[in-house]
Amino acid sequence: MSAPFSQRFKEARMLNGFSLQDLANKLHAEQISISKQALHKYEKGEAIPDTQMLLQLSRVLGVRLDFFFQRHTVELSTPEYRKLSKLPVKEQERITAITRFAVSRYLELESLLDLNTPFINPLANFPEINELAEVEVAANHVRTQWNWGTGPLYNVLELLEDQHVKMILLQSEDSFDGMKAWVNDQQIAVIALNSVRLNSPDRLRFTALHELGHLLLPINHLPEKERERMCNRFAAAMLLPESTAKMEFGAKRNRLHLQELADLKKQYGISMQALAFRANDLGIITDSYLKQFIFMFYQHGWRQTEPAPYTGEEKATRFNQLLMRALAEEIISIDKAAVLNNQSLLAFRKQLQMVE
């Protein structure tokens, strides 16, 4: 028991963003007397807690008792965080642990349903990218390969799930927007998004496609700052292809109208600021006009909250759909469904009653 328990105990600690000392302090606050050194022995597999301590650890760490005995099978390779430089190491570890746990449950559910959904990279044979113009070509290629056309994209998160990208929504208060990672030797693509910071659907869409750029584009040879620039361009091109942008804006413009940008935002799900930058990227408006426009925009206090919202839906629902399928077909019990959904049986039953 010691090897899997030690791994899962560490995973539970990281899921909470605790150091060993944090956990010892939390346990002491709950009138549970145990030292940091004793917890360290649990984590190293040098000691095993008794049943009473297991129950207490389960409660304080907020995991089911059986969590400690599930074998850990998922490793994330090359995780890459947006805004990594500002993200504390402990929070990086917590986000990685949450993502790994969510993906492991996702893969277990697919296995129970006998589903094999490897991710096929549409840019697998694409040459190295060094210029922004090449990003435009890559984005058009992805849209073509995935039959997305050149019009507005509705529910980008669901569209990415249809292409077998595992979409994970989590909560972090720190300077973190999203991350990408691979599982099982690049057969499974993962994108995790911070729903606290990305509190509008247009921000969720843009960041999801930015992270997709990190997954797909052959740009690892470039410096980090240039990779970020390339992925921002990729996200914008995926949301508003060049041909569509020039159809909507025209080839050349002297100025843009706020209502025009508001209408395009509502139609294409791309922020008004990103639309202005997109027009500049494509040579539709000049650098000087873009600078003037952004200055005016910020003066009005619209940097974080724009004057026109995008009201489209952005939801990742595939995991829940598969869970309900497995439950309906009696492939899994309601108790197992609760485990896969990381809930207590009581909480899961209440959730089901809300839709019955």
Model pLDDT for residues 160-179, shown as the tens digit of each residue: 999 999 999 998 876 789 99
Who has greater pLDDT, 29 or 184? 29
Q: Residue 355 — pLDDT band, cuts 50, 70, 90?
A: low
In this predicted model, which residue has the larger pLDDT, 347 or 147?
147
Token digits of residue 5: 């328990």
The kind and range of the H/E element at 193 are strand 188-194
Q: What pLDDT is recorded for position 85?
A: 59
Is residue 82 very low, low, confident or very high in pLDDT (cuts 50, 70, 90)?
low
Return the minimum-mean-pLDDT range out of 84-93, 187-196, 302-311.
84-93
| Three-class DSSP labels, 179-228 | EEEEECCCCEEEEEEECCCCCCHHHHHHHHHHHHHHHHCCCCCCCHHHHH
Is the pLDDT at 1 greater than 50? The verdict is no
Tell me what pLDDT residue 106 has: 94
d(CA 154, CA 145) in angstroms, rounded, equals 17
pLDDT of residue 237: 98
Q: How far is CA 180 from the centre of its chain?
A: 7
How is residue 171 written in tokens?
């909560």
Residues 324, 80: Cα–Cα separation, whole Å: 32
pLDDT value, residue 66: 79
Q: Where in the chain is the domain with CATH 1.10.260.40?
A: 1-72
Residue 273: what pLDDT?
97
For residues 96 and 182, the answer to whether their CB atoms sit within 8 Å is: no
What does the block give as tokens for 354?
């809300």
- Chain center to CA of 313: 16
The predicted model scores a pTM of: 0.86
Confidence band for 10, pLDDT divided at 50, 70 and 90: confident
pLDDT at 11: 82
Q: Give residue 114's pLDDT.
A: 94
CATH assignment, 1-72? 1.10.260.40
- Rounded to the nearest angstrom, the gap between the alpha carbon of residue 2 and the centroid of all alpha carbons in its chain is 32
pLDDT digits (tens, 9 = 90+) for 207-265: 999 999 999 999 999 999 999 999 999 999 999 999 999 999 999 999 999 999 999 99
Residues 142, 185, 323: CA angle, nearest 5 degrees: 75
Sign of the Cα torsion 312, 194, 241, 289 reads positive
Question: What confidence tier does 4 reach under pLDDT thresholds 50, 70, 90?
Answer: confident
The SS3 of residue 222 is: coil
